[in-house]
Amino acid sequence: MTAPIEHCVKVSLAERSYDILIRAGLLGEVGRCLRGLGFSGKVAVVTNPTIRRLYAPAVIQSLKTAGYETRTIVIPDGERAKSLRWVSTILDELAVARFERGSVLLALGGGVVGDITGFAAAIFVRGIPFVQVPTTLVAQVDSSVGGKTGVNHALGKNLIGAFHQPRLVLIDPETLKTLPKPEWSAGMAEVIKYGMIADEEFFSYLERSMDALLRMEDGPVAHVITRSCQIKASVVTEDERESDRRRILNYGHTVGHALESLGKYRTLLHGEAVAIGMVQEADLARHVGLCPNEVVTRLRALVHEAGLPDALPPLTFSPLWGAMQHDKKVAQGRLYCVLPERVGRVAIVPLERAQFKHWFASRPRMPGRDVGRALSE
Domain identity same for 234 and 188: yes
Beta bridge partners of 130: 105
Domain identity same for 193 and 149: no
Selection from 191, 188, 198, 200 nearest residue 294 by Cα: 200
Does residue 372 fall inside a structural domain? Answer: no
Question: What's the CA angle centered on 205, arms 200 and 210, to 5 degrees?
Answer: 130
Q: Which residues of 166-200 are buried (b: 16+ CB within 10 A; e: fewer)?
A: bbbbbbbbbbbeebeeebbbbbbbbbbbbbbbbbe
According to the model, what pLDDT value does residue 3 have? 67
Q: What is the CA radius of gyration of the chain?
A: 20
Specify the number of domains making up the chain.
2
Does residue 375 fall inside a structural domain? Answer: no
Q: 348 with 247: CB under 8 angstroms? A: yes
358 phi/psi in degrees, rounded to 5: -65, -45
Q: 233 with 171: CB under 8 angstroms? A: no
Domain limit, last residue, from 147, 162, 178: 178
Give, in order, the Cα–Cα distances in Å from 45 to each of 83, 114, 125, 370.
18, 11, 18, 37
CATH classification of the domain holding 254: 1.20.1090.10
Does residue 308 fall inside a structural domain? Answer: yes
Domain identity same for 149 and 290: no
CATH classification of the domain holding 118: 3.40.50.1970
Predicted confidence pLDDT, tens digits, the chain (377 residues): 566 788 999 999 999 999 999 999 999 999 999 999 999 889 999 999 999 999 999 999 999 999 999 999 999 998 889 999 999 999 999 999 999 999 999 999 999 999 999 999 999 999 999 999 999 999 999 999 999 999 998 887 888 999 999 999 999 999 999 999 999 999 999 999 999 999 999 999 999 999 999 999 999 999 999 999 999 999 999 989 888 888 999 999 999 999 998 998 889 999 999 999 999 999 999 999 999 999 999 999 999 999 999 999 999 999 999 999 887 667 777 899 999 999 999 999 999 999 999 999 988 665 556 655 556 44
Domain identity same for 63 and 186: no
Domain identity same for 33 and 78: yes
Q: Looking at the annotation, which residues are catalytic?
A: 126, 148, 190, 232, 242, 246, 250, 253, 257, 270
According to the model, what pLDDT value does residue 377 have? 42
Domain identity same for 172 and 185: no
Going 302 to 355 to 329 to 239, the CA torsion angle's sign is positive
Does residue 368 fall inside a structural domain? Answer: no
DSSP 203-217: HHHHHHHHHHHHTT-
According to the model, what pLDDT value does residue 147 have? 93
Does residue 28 fall inside a structural domain? Answer: yes
Domain identity same for 203 and 159: no
Domain limit, last residue, from 178, 199, 229: 178
Does residue 89 fall inside a structural domain? Answer: yes
Domain identity same for 223 and 155: no
Does residue 369 fall inside a structural domain? Answer: no
Domain identity same for 201 and 323: yes
Bridge-based pairing state of the strands 168-171 and 18-22:
parallel
Domain identity same for 173 and 287: no
Domain identity same for 323 and 294: yes
What's the domain range around 58?
Answer: 7-178
365 phi/psi in degrees, rounded to 5: -85, 65
State the amino acid at position 203 in one-letter form: F
According to the model, what pLDDT value does residue 373 have? 55
Domain limit, last residue, from 124, 158, 178: 178
What is the SS3 assignment for 47? strand
Does residue 373 fall inside a structural domain? Answer: no
C-alpha–C-alpha distance, residues 345 and 61, integer Å: 45
Domain identity same for 104 and 75: yes
Beta bridge partners of 347: 339
DSSP 114-160: HHHHHHHHHHGGG---EEEEE-SHHIIIIITSS-EEEEEETTEEEEE
